[in-house]
Amino acid sequence: MRLLAAAFLLVAVPSLAQVPSADPAMARRIRGDVEFLASDNLEGRDTGSRGHAIAADYVAAQFRAIGLEPGGEKGGWFQQVPFRRASYEQQPKLTLMIGGKPVALEVGKDAGLRPSVIARSRKLSAGFVFVGFGLKDRRYGFDDYRGLNVKGKIVIALAGTPAGLPSDVDAHLKSSKDLVAASEGAIGFVELPRNDGSTGRGDPVRRGGRPLVDWVDADGRAGSTPPGLQLLLSFSQDMAARLFDGAPRSLAAIRDEAKAKGHLRGFELKPVLAVESESKWEDFTSPEVIGLLKGSDPALAAQHVVLMGHLDHLGMKQDAKPGEDAIYNGALDNAAGVATMLEAARQFAAQPVRPKRSVLFIANTGEERGLLGADYYANHPTVAADSIVGLVDLDMPVLLYPFTDVTAFGADHSTIGATVADAGRSMGVAVAPDPMPQEAIFTRSDHYQFVRKGVPAVLLMTGYANGGAAAWGSYLGKVYHSPQDDLSQRIDWDSGARYALLNYRIAREMADAAQRPMWLKGDYFGDLFDAKGPRAP
């Protein structure tokens, strides 16, 4: 999971409701898998590391033992994702022409420029266009680019969106501003914080120049670099304000306007930026692990339902002090998701009748680097792309209390919503609305990359009821993405078994139903990403 991780409220622990106990054998198997995958010996399963490769071998071995068939490349279990790590040996040179005078920018202090996985050398100069929030959306009537020509320009967008959008739509629009800029012909993209204080998300200027990992395929396409977008930039608050020198309105005035009106008109800016940079590249591969259970119905077996969970985590802490725990074990994020996916696979295999549709089980890589493995698979599937009809993502189940409700991200947009409700009812699990819309979880896990390909998908978050709010509060506040997400936590293995069973029942229903999962008629995401697909009333 890749959250914004803001501050979380700690709440008093209520008395816990009784939940039906789970099958102890299921709980034991999940525990065994988590204990292996989260062990110190795997060193945090970083994308491309030996620890992750060993974890991938383990998942493949489990797939074999369960009775799945290899679903990867060349008849094997794996799809090797071609990754590239880009970094700087020498800081890039950034010069801003303001009022006819060159201002040399100090990289890491005044500005940040993301290393490039597409162009080793960059030498260019371009002007800026402010585009308001940088949104373009037919349904909601946003067209912040109207009347502006951004071809060959660097686009500057203010972070955020106008108030009042549904949380999934809001999350989607916020996460696709760079794609919009690229599709409008911009060559660079900058997002400025909505406020002039701290953003609470680390310093984007310093972060901007850090080494980054992306996939780059044989055609030169990359995962997180939109085509044509050569510059992903950030500016300090001072420098950002100076970009508006000579403009119709100052940055401060725009920020006030955004608070008051929530809608902004863009305009061209005066400064011009010259860039010279050399990126250093290091190429490597890391596997997706794919197992297949063939469907039993001759008419439906060509369709695939996908269960996935990310196997990678954050690796080792680079700046650990002597004696400090340096291993990001990722026990809940996401050894627990992979272990519960394996248990769901065992449930499928244990039934006397195979599901009607085929089922793919995928352990993703590169999730913590930006949902990269899932994105690569979604763009290079090992089965026909249009045969993937529905998806269940298992990511970061917080198994620290006996959950009695779940939030089903993405489910409300398709018939999967009813499937989740049915499966939940069969186990006494309620479905609750998103308790933390500010975290935009809908776009922060692997299923979103398939939603973007038009596939109805769901991610279940263990809910806030029955001690969940307190458990989530302390997990996100102290443990999430830290070396403390390890086996010393009091993991409730029964909850793991129930999470596995719930996801199994949802996927089983998707695989057996007469109709494939369908977007609801008029749904925003269905209409955006699968305009021609079938619809449910």
Q: Which residues bind Zn ion (CB under 5 A)?
A: 1, 333
Task: Give the separation between CA 284 and CA 356, rounded to whole angstroms.
Answer: 38
Q: What is the DSSP letter of 353?
A: S
CA distances from 61 to 52, 54, 344, 395, 403 (A): 14, 10, 16, 21, 30
Specify the residue, 333 or 412, whose C-beta has the smaller distance to Zn ion. Answer: 333
Nearest to 508 by CA among 406, 426, 453: 426
**Do residues 357 and 301 lie in contact, with contact meaning Cβ atoms separated by under 8 Å?**
yes
Rank residues 131 and 335 by Cβ distance to Zn ion and give the closer one.
335
DSSP 364: E
Q: Are 338 and 311 in contact (CB under 8 A)?
A: yes
Pairing, β 405-409 against β 430-431: parallel
User: In whole angstroms, how close is the CB of 442 to Zn ion at the nearest point?
Assistant: 15
Q: For the CB of residue 2, give the shortest distance to Zn ion in the complex, in Å.
A: 5
Closest separation between CB of residue 476 and Zn ion, Å? Answer: 11
Cβ contacts of residue 76 below 8 Å, gap of 6+?
A: 70
68 vs 336 by CB, closer to Zn ion: 336
**Which DSSP helix (H) or strand (E) runs through 346?**
helix 336-350
Residues 6+ away with beta carbon under 8 Å from 66: 291, 342, 345, 346, 349
Cβ closer to Zn ion: 3 or 103?
Answer: 3
**CB nearer to Zn ion: pick between 1 and 173:** 1
CB nearer Zn ion, residue 182 or residue 396 = 396
Contact (Cβ atoms closer than 8 angstroms) between residue 309 and residue 363: yes
Q: How far is the CB of 527 from Zn ion (least distance, A)?
A: 30
Cβ of residue 75: shortest distance to Zn ion, in angstroms? 32
Distance of closest approach, residue 242 Cβ to Zn ion, in angstroms: 36
* Shortest distance, position 54 Cβ to Zn ion, whole Å: 19
Residue 47 C-beta: closest distance to Zn ion, Å: 12
Q: Is residue 403 within 8 Å of 498, Cβ to Cβ?
A: yes
**Strands annotated E in 100-179:** 101-105, 111-113, 121-130, 136-137, 142-143, 154-158
Minimum distance of Zn ion from residue 342's CB (angstroms): 19
Cβ 42 to Zn ion, closest distance in Å? Answer: 15
In this complex, which beta carbon is closest to Zn ion, that of residue 92 or of residue 309? 309
The residues that bridge with 365 in the sheet, in sequence order, are none
Alpha-carbon distance of 251 to 56, in angstroms, equals: 48
* DSSP-based three-state secondary structure for 281: strand
Phi first, then psi: give them for residue 252, nearest 5 degrees. Answer: -60, -40
Helical spans, DSSP H, in 427-492: 447-451, 468-474
Residue nearer to Zn ion on the CB measure, 1 or 96: 1
Closer of 481 and 535 to Zn ion (Cβ): 481
Both tokens assigned to 98:
């303001």
Please, what is the end-to-end C-alpha distance for the chain in angstroms?
32
Nearer CB in complex with Zn ion: 105/362: 362
- Give the shortest CB-49-to-Zn ion separation in angstroms: 16
Closer CB to Zn ion, 3 or 272, in the complex: 3
- Cβ distance 344 to 39 under 8 Å? no
